[in-house]
A and B are shown apart, each in its own frame.
Chain A
Amino acid sequence: MYQTHSKREFAIEFQPQIQILRPSIHSRRANLLVKFQDLYGFTVEGNVDDVNILNEVREKVRQQGRVWWALEASKGANWYLQPQVSSLTEGIALKSSLKLSNLANAITLKRLIRKGIPPVLRPKVWFSLSGAAKKKSTVPESYYNDLSKAVEGKVTAATKQIDHDLPRTFPGHPWLDTPEGHAALRRVLVGYSFRDSDVGYCQGLNYVAALLLLVMKTEEDAFWMLAVLLENVLVSDCYTNNLSGCHVEQRVFQDFLAKKCPRIAAHLEELEFDVSLVATEWFLCLFSKSLPSETTLRVWDVLFYEGAKVLFHVALAIFKMKEEELLLTHHVGDVINILHKTTHHLFDPDELLTVAFDKIGSMTTNTISKQRKKQEPAVMAELDQRLRRLNSIKMDDEK
């Protein structure tokens, strides 16, 4: 099974990069592009400044690790589970016993998670806080293995598409793009396609599942994370038949942009730029295809604890960060290029998350659900209309 990098491997990995950079640091700093592997094995291309940022980020990760260890030492290894316990069993008369210490823990935890979960702790913390552990505990211990065995050798439309996409999921990655990596990713995706036949396989899930595999280390945990993500964390029907959930999210996002960044929204409307031109990929791949790996995972840290509203925060932040530049554009293509360049170079997760949570202002899950309800009928009507138009085409054909 694939092992995520220990600290020692990590240090070794970055050495060649330093050797490459040293002689040229004083010369053409910004123009020199180097390729290297990041923490999760992805090849990154960046200039010296990017590399410096990555080094700083690594130092911050280390510091953050120390904070977590210190808390474990003082509060016990599973201290962060307490706030979750009270919220899960809510309504079973536990409310009254919600102790002050639990509340304090909850607040500490929220702040801590926004600052990032250390990569070593991610599998454990994600698994419990997302609700994946609870989901898994409701079925027999052997569920995943039984499922994998039961579906082995079966061929469906979904499995054919999965097979097609395996070598096309982060090609070139040192583990994902190996026979072993393909096989693990296949089992997770095929397993899920049988668990929920409405979703089956949707392109985009391959990237999400692949990154989950890299973080969670075991297939089974990655599978449960995927399940909790699709069944509990994200809005339903994001990945089903006509992606209706995703269409709704895009409209809600458009509304939020108009509210939170009115100047950008007005300018984009003038250019006839529809936010879903870029945001569809963000929402379906949960940024895994756009942001550098550690930045993506920092977004996911918060996503698994605070829910789908995080996607809106982050998407808005990306626009917000480039407000002045975006206002100067005259063409849809320029907008897209700016946003692409920005996302690909967001090596500092804090830069993004600070904007996302401090500058965007609060959005409660409640307001988002209301917005979704508001947009749903229009989306459904539009999809329905299109479907009817296409069906009428088919009928004409048969005549």
Chain B
Amino acid sequence: MARTGNKNIQAKLVLLGDMGTGKTSMVLRFTKGQFFDFQESTIGAAFFTQVLSLNEATIKFDIWDTAGQERYHSLAPMYYRGAAAAVVVYDITSMDSFERAKKWVIELQRQGNPNLIMFLVGNKVDLEEKRKVGNEEAEQYAKENGLVFLETSAKTAQNVNELFYEIAKRLTKKVPSRPTGMKLHRRPQETGRRRQLPRFPQLFVRMLVYQIELHCGPSDLKIKAALNEK
């Protein structure tokens, strides 16, 4: 089962995080290239779609951008249920928002699906002079928890496209053991029980290939992946 040529992947993506961390701004930057200094607060959740084409596949993102206020968290399961990827956002100028992000990570780890790809994103790096959450601290936390870590600015667009490309890449590389939140087209659906053993080495090889790629290129992205930086 080598990499198939043109896969079409539909993937549900959810953004979680404290209010005012820039979740909506990040999505708008990615989907429309827009940015507003004062973005209307999101109530419930907002829905966006965007298609990304990589060499190996075309990914259609269904993006759920959720409301940040704590009392809205009771709605969250509806949005992260069945998601293929989750982006937990905090504001680098607010320690509270980082603490809230950690709570989200824990909740996702315990309740989300085990195949969920999780990203931790520190937004608003354009406000470096007001920074309260250190880059190293967040990176360390991400490493311990197996999250991909990035710092972004929706305002200057720094790392925003990179974030979504990275998510797309990981989605295409992930072995689709069960298509939760991810629908693969032009590929026969796997039937029957999962064959655990033969699959394992393959996954391992893929991860290896991926790590090599990340270290030595050819990679068009300069991304700090938490799992391979030492």
A202 CB-CB contact with B under 8 Å: yes
A116 to B106, CA, bound (A): 50
A278 to B45, CA, bound (A): 8
Other-chain residue from B19, B43, B71, B74 in contact with A281 (beta carbon distance below 8 A): B43
Q: Are A389 and B43 in contact (CB under 8 A)?
A: no
Interface-facing stretch out of A161-169, A353-361, A365-373: A161-169
Instruction: Mark interface residues in B42-85 (1 if CB within 8 Å of A CB, else 0).
Output: 01110101000000000000100001110111110110000000
A284 to B77, CA, bound (A): 19
Other-chain residue from A169, A242, A393 in contact with B74 (beta carbon distance below 8 A): A242
B8 CB, nearest partner CB in chain A, Å: 13
Across-interface contacts of B34 in A (CB, < 8 A): none
Q: Are B74 and A383 in contact (CB under 8 A)?
A: yes
Q: With A161-B69, A393-B106 in contact, do A171 and B36 touch (Cβ < 8 Å)?
A: yes
Q: Are A168 and B38 in contact (CB under 8 A)?
A: yes
Across-interface contacts of A277 in B (CB, < 8 A): 44-45, 47, 78
B229 CB-CB contact with A under 8 Å: no
Q: With A169-B41, A336-B47 in contact, do A389 and B111 touch (Cβ < 8 Å)?
A: yes
Task: Give the size range of B's interface with the partner.
Answer: 20 to 34
Other-chain residue from A203, A336, A390 in contact with B43 (beta carbon distance below 8 A): A203
A141 CB-CB contact with B under 8 Å: no
Q: Are B72 and A203 in contact (CB under 8 A)?
A: yes
Across-interface contacts of A203 in B (CB, < 8 A): 19, 41, 43, 67-69, 72
A276 CB-CB contact with B under 8 Å: yes
Other-chain residue from A202, A276, A281, A383 in contact with B78 (beta carbon distance below 8 A): A276
Residue of chain A at shortest CB distance from B183: A331
Q: Are A202 and B71 in contact (CB under 8 A)?
A: yes
Across-interface contacts of B19 in A (CB, < 8 A): 161, 164, 203
- What is the number of contacts between chain A and chain B, taking CB atoms within 8 Å? 78
Q: Are B62 and A167 in contact (CB under 8 A)?
A: no
Task: Give the size range of A's interface with the partner.
Answer: 35 or more
Across-interface contacts of B41 in A (CB, < 8 A): 165, 168-169, 203, 206
B52 CB, nearest partner CB in chain A, Å: 15
B107 CB-CB contact with A under 8 Å: yes
A315 CB, nearest partner CB in chain B, Å: 13
Within 8 A of B (CB), among A264-285: 274, 276-278, 280-281, 284-285
A242 to B41, CA, bound (A): 18
Across-interface contacts of B39 in A (CB, < 8 A): 168, 171
A397 CB-CB contact with B under 8 Å: yes
A318 CB, nearest partner CB in chain B, Å: 15
B32 CB-CB contact with A under 8 Å: no
Q: With A164-B19, A332-B62 in contact, do A243 and B43 touch (Cβ < 8 Å)?
A: no
B5 CB, nearest partner CB in chain A, Å: 24
A164 to B39, CA, bound (A): 11
B20 CB-CB contact with A under 8 Å: yes
A280 to B69, CA, bound (A): 14
Q: Are B71 and A168 in contact (CB under 8 A)?
A: no
A210 CB, nearest partner CB in chain B, Å: 11
Q: Are A289 and B107 in contact (CB under 8 A)?
A: no
Residue of chain B at shortest CB distance from A390: B107
A186 CB-CB contact with B under 8 Å: no
B133 CB, nearest partner CB in chain A, Å: 18
Across-interface contacts of B106 in A (CB, < 8 A): 393, 397
A333 to B11, CA, bound (A): 12
Q: Are A247 and B74 in contact (CB under 8 A)?
A: yes
A203 to B73, CA, bound (A): 12
A170 CB-CB contact with B under 8 Å: yes
B144 CB-CB contact with A under 8 Å: no
B40 CB-CB contact with A under 8 Å: yes
B186 CB-CB contact with A under 8 Å: no
A134 CB-CB contact with B under 8 Å: no
A206 to B67, CA, bound (A): 14
Within 8 A of B (CB), among A200-248: 202-204, 206-207, 239-244, 247
- Select the residue from A161, A167, A203, A247 with max chain B CB neighbours within 10 A: A203
A386 CB-CB contact with B under 8 Å: yes
- Select the residue from A243, A244, A247, A332 with max chain B CB neighbours within 10 A: A243
Name A residues whose Cβ lies closer than 8 Å to a Cβ of B: 161, 164-165, 167-171, 202-204, 206-207, 239-244, 247, 274, 276-278, 280-281, 284-285, 289, 332-333, 336-337, 383, 386, 389-390, 393, 397
Could you write out 10 A-B pairs with CB less than 8 Å apart? A202-B69, A203-B43, A207-B43, A243-B72, A277-B45, A281-B43, A285-B43, A333-B49, A386-B74, A393-B110
Q: List the 5 shortest-distance A-B pairs measured between CB atoms, nearest first.
A: A280-B44, A281-B44, A242-B74, A167-B38, A171-B38
Known: A203-B19, A274-B78. 19 other contacts (CB 8 A): A161-B69, A164-B19, A168-B39, A202-B69, A203-B41, A203-B69, A207-B43, A240-B71, A243-B72, A243-B75, A247-B74, A276-B75, A277-B45, A277-B78, A284-B44, A285-B43, A337-B47, A390-B107, A393-B106
